[in-house]
Amino acid sequence: MGINDNGFIRGLIGPLVNRKVGNKNYLQSRPYRVKQTDDTKRAGKDYDRFSYEDGHII
């Protein structure tokens, strides 16, 4: 739902996003939801595990 913020509209209205940046109002299309594949999830878990282990190396 869009919000009127002192004459500037900000928020989500349908497939559009209104953004207030400084004294300007920008209208953008809504970003698409990205679905992760099993490979990207596995890579993220590997990165998490390795970064955790790197923090324990002296």
What does pLDDT average to over the chain? 83
The percentage of the chain sitting over the pLDDT mark of 90, rounded to a whole number, equals 21
pTM over 0.85: no
Q: 49: which 2 tokens? A: 């595990």
pLDDT at 40 > cutoff 90 = yes
Q: How far is CA 49 from CA 19, 36, 40, in A?
A: 37, 19, 14
- The pLDDT, as a whole number, for residue 5 is 67
pLDDT tens, residue by residue, 8-30:
777 778 888 888 888 888 888 88
Q: How far is CA 32 from CA 4, 43, 51, 56, in A?
A: 25, 22, 29, 38
Domain residue ranges of the chain, discontinuous segments joined by +: 3-54
Q: Are 57 and 50 in contact (CB under 8 A)?
A: no
